[in-house]
Structure 1
Amino acid sequence: MASSVILAGLGLAAVGFGARFVIRTIPALGKKMADTVYNVPKLDSKFQLDEWLSTVPSYSKTSLIWQIFASSKYYKGGFEPKMTKREAALILNVSPNASQQKVRAAYKRMMLTNHPDRGGSPFISSKLSEAKDLLDK
C-alpha cells in the first residue's frame, strides 16, 4: 500500500516537472525560432549560408535546461549607469510605488544577509542603500 502511494507521488512529480519544462520552454523556443526565421537573409551561395550560420548561437540541451530551470526567476541584466526607480524596485524586490514602510522593511531584510560585516559584498550593500535612498524620496 505504501509503495503504491510513493510511486503515485513520484509519477505526479515527474508529470509536474515535465509540464513545467514544456510550459517554460515553448515560449522561449518559439521566440528564438521566430527571431531566427525573421533574420534569415536571402542566401544565394553556400558561402553566405556558412557565414550566416556562424552568427546564429548554438544551444546545447544541457545549457538550455539549466537556463530554464535554474535562472528563470532572476533578473538577467546588469546595473544601469544611473539607478532608476524601476531598477531600485527590482533590487529591493518591491513595487516601484511601494510605501516607505515596505521599502525600509525590504532594505532591512536584505541588509541582514548582505551586510559587509556579516560576509556580504560591499558593492551589493551600496546598491541596496542607493536603492533605498532613491525609493524613500
Structure 2
Amino acid sequence: MSTYITAGLALAAIGFGGRAILRRSRGLTEMLNKSLPTSGSFTNSKYYKGGFESKMSRREAGLVLGISPSATKTKIKEAHKRIMLLNHPDKGGSPYLAAKINEAKDLLESNRSVK
C-alpha cells in the first residue's frame, strides 16, 4: 500500500514541477529568442536554402552543383566530381541527392560543347 502512496506522491511532484516549468517557460522562451541567432544571420550563406522543384531547371541545376548555369563542360564535370565524392551513396550519401546531382549534371551538359 505504501508503494502506491509513494508512486502517487512522485506523480504529483512531477505534475507540479511540470506546471511550474510551463509557467516559467514564457520567460525562458523570450530569453532564448534573444540569445539564439535569427534566420537573417544565414542570408549571406553560400548554400541554397530551398527544396527541389518538380522539374529541374538550369538555374536549379547550377545551384545544386554550385556553378553558373552557363558554365563550360569542363567546369560542370569538375563540380559534379567534387560534389559526388562527398555525396555518393557508397560512401554513406543519400541516393536521392546523388540522383539529383546526376540530373543537374545531365541537364547542364545537354546542349553544351567543350570550351
TM-score (normalised: structure 2): 0.61
- Matched with 2:80 is 107
Any residues of structure 2 matched to 1:20-99 within 5 Å, and which?
A: 60-63=33-36, 65-70=37-42, 72-73=44-45, 74-99=47-72
Q: Which has the larger radius of gyration?
A: 2
Provide the rounded CA distance (Å) in 2 between the counterparts of 1:91 and 1:109. Answer: 12
Provide the rounded CA distance (Å) in 1 between the counterparts of 2:51 and 2:81. Answer: 23
Q: 1:69: Cα distance to partner? A: 3.6
Q: 1:72: Cα distance to partner? A: 4.2
TM-score (normalised: structure 1): 0.52
Q: Deviations along 1:5-49, whole A, 9 cap, x unmatched?
A: xxxxxxxxxxxxxxxxxxxxxxxxxxxxxxxxxxxxxxxxxxxxx
Q: 1:97: Cα distance to partner? A: 0.4
- List structure 1 runs of 4+ shifted beyond 4 angstroms: none
Q: Deviations along 1:79-130, whole A, 9 cap, x unmatched?
A: 0000000000000000010000000000000000100000000010000000
Gaps (5+ residues) in structure 2?
Answer: 1-32, 111-115
Query: Aligned match of 2:89 in 112, 116, 120?
Result: 116
CA gap 1:70/1:105 in 2 versus in 1, 3 angstroms: same
Q: 1:68: Cα distance to partner? A: 3.4
- Matched with 2:25 is none
